[in-house]
């Protein structure tokens, strides 16, 4: 059992006594299901609660849910975000969608527009009094609430304060030019040219998420108001050119130096990266891998900016299948997972940002500087998606961005080709 798991279980134990009351305050009572009662066996598909530790956390929550709804049995199916879309589409195509589906910000419009998701009958304004507005927005499509937020996540600038000080740098970069200049000064190579410390890591997270963070900071948008692709604008080219120059011109990082979600551990905790575009949950990873860094205050954060400050914001939300045979039970579970106790346990297990305002004062948030930083900068947050065809488009970003960073295409050509593919997807071709 890891330190984090023990901590999560302690939190669960501390709130267990109040779970029933908290869930009851989580929203309106669930509608009666097709059988006239909140009962039945329902399925849950979850891309969070990873591994044995995550499963143990979820099982604790489902046991508490069972106490509140003894006539409901939940069958969880664990997956990852990488396999989530395939799982969802396969179940929907078979005519047997999961009753409750956890999915990401940007995923709601594609499934809601196809009639897959149930209207939860909630008022967005009312939810805004309990949840952060940006988290609520992710679950709304054409004015109706199709999902309740559980957690949020961000991509921000992260840096090693001690390595900055050694290089004589006193504050985070304020634009792309300073990011590149600082990256060159922070890079350390052996006499034979072998990279020792990457000065600026732009490869440590999903390439699409890194590019979108840079796109928004450059003043660009993902789509135009009419829904057509806008990411190949001059701002988009500037963003991708900057990422490409970090590798090919500045040599502040080598391709393959870092890999998203690497099983070998956190590159910043290992001192292999001085500055990066990264996920805020790096804080939790470093707490586990190099707690002295936290104790000695060696980790700093900044909002990526050029034409404007920008922060990528995603999240995980609970939805209910429109075809669920037990809609009352499914809505009860969705509301339960988005309520205080279960949401706190889920966020602590994953190191993410609670969507509930009430959890901002929790010990978990108050001890996590990365989450506090993200919360303080929500005004700069942007979210991906926005078009029903987004899930058909999003996976095309990675190869396009990599083609530019490997020098196979110019940034302009890579983005123009990607825009052509996106246009075809939008047209249903």
pTM of the complete model? 0.87
At residue 1, the pLDDT reads 41
Same fold, 40-153+314-382 and 155-313+386-427: yes
Cα gap 73→69, rounded to integer Å: 9
- The string of DSSP letters for 355-420 reads SBGGGGGSHHHHT-HHHHHHHHTGGGEE-S--STTHHHHGGGHHHHHHHHHTTSS-HHHHHHHHHH
Spell out the per-residue pLDDT of the chain, length 429, in tens: 443 444 444 443 443 333 333 333 334 444 455 555 799 999 999 999 988 999 999 999 999 999 999 999 999 999 998 899 999 999 999 989 999 999 999 899 999 999 999 999 999 999 999 999 999 999 999 999 999 999 999 999 999 999 999 999 999 999 999 999 999 999 999 999 999 999 999 999 999 999 999 999 999 999 999 999 999 999 999 999 999 999 999 999 999 888 887 777 888 889 999 999 999 999 998 998 999 999 999 999 999 999 999 999 999 999 999 999 999 999 999 999 999 999 999 999 999 999 999 999 999 999 999 999 999 999 999 999 989 899 999 999 999 999 999 999 999 999 999 999 999 999 987
DSSP 345: H
Q: Encode pLDDT of 363-400 as tens digits.
A: 999 999 999 999 999 999 999 998 989 999 999 999 99
E strand residue ranges, 57-98: 72-78
- Residues 160 and 275 sit within 8 Å (Cβ to Cβ): yes
Quick one: CATH architecture of 155-313+386-427? 3-Layer(aba) Sandwich (3.40)
Q: Encode pLDDT of 31-71 as tens digits.
A: 455 555 799 999 999 999 988 999 999 999 999 999 999 99
Domain range annotation of the chain: 40-153+314-382, 155-313+386-427
What three-state secondary structure class fits 63? helix
What are the tokens at 86? 């395939």
Quick one: CATH architecture of 40-153+314-382? 3-Layer(aba) Sandwich (3.40)
- Residues 31 and 327 sit within 8 Å (Cβ to Cβ): yes
Half-sphere exposure of 405 (CA within 13 A, CB side): 25
Q: What angle do CA 166, 169, 171 make, to 5 degrees?
A: 130
């Amino acid at each position: 059992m890891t330190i984090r798991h023990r901590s999560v279980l302690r939190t669960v134990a501390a709130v267990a006594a109040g779970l029933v009351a908290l869930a009851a305050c989580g929203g309106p009572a669930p509608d009666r299901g097709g059988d006239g009662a909140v009962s039945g066996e329902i399925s849950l598909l979850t891309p969070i609660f990873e591994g044995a530790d995550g499963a143990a956390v979820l099982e604790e929550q489902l046991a508490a849910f069972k106490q509140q709804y003894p006539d409901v049995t939940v069958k969880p199916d664990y997956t990852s975000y990488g396999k989530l879309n395939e799982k969802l589409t396969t179940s929907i195509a078979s005519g047997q969608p999961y009753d409750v589906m956890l999915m990401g910000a940007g995923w709601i419009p594609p499934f809601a527009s196809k009639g897959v998701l149930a209207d939860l009958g909630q008022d967005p304004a009312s939810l805004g009094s309990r949840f952060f507005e940006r988290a609520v927005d992710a679950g709304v499509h054409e004015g109706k609430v199709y999902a309740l937020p559980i957690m949020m996540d961000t991509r921000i600038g992260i840096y090693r304060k001690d390595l900055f000080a050694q290089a004589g740098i006193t504050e985070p970069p304020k634009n792309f030019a300073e990011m590149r200049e600082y990256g060159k000064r922070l890079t350390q190579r052996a006499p034979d040219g072998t990279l020792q410390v990457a000065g600026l890591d732009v490869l440590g997270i999903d390439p699409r998420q890194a590019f979108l963070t840079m796109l928004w900071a450059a003043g660009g948008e993902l789509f135009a108001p009419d829904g057509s692709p806008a990411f190949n604008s001059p701002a988009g080219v500037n963003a991708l050119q900057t990422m490409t120059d970090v590798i090919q011109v500045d040599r502040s990082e080598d391709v393959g130096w870092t890999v998203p979600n690497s099983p070998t551990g956190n590159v910043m905790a290992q001192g292999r990266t001085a500055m990066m575009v990264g996920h805020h949950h790096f804080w939790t990873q470093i707490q586990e891998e190099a707690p002295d860094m936290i104790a000695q205050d060696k980790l700093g954060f900044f909002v990526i900016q050029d034409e404007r400050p920008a922060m990528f914001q995603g999240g995980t939300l609970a939805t209910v299948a429109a075809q669920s045979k037990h809609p009352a039970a499914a809505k009860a579970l969705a509301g339960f997972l988005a309520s205080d106790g279960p949401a706190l346990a889920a966020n602590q297990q994953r190191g993410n940002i609670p969507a509930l305002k009430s959890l901002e004062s929790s010990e978990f948030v108050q001890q996590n500087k990365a989450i506090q930083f993200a919360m303080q900068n929500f005004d700069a947050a942007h979210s991906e998606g926005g078009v029903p065809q987004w899930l058909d488009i999003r996976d095309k970003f990675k190869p396009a961005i990599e083609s530019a960073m490997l020098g196979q295409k110019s940034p302009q050509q890579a983005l123009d080709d990607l825009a052509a593919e996106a246009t075809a997807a939008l047209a249903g071709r």
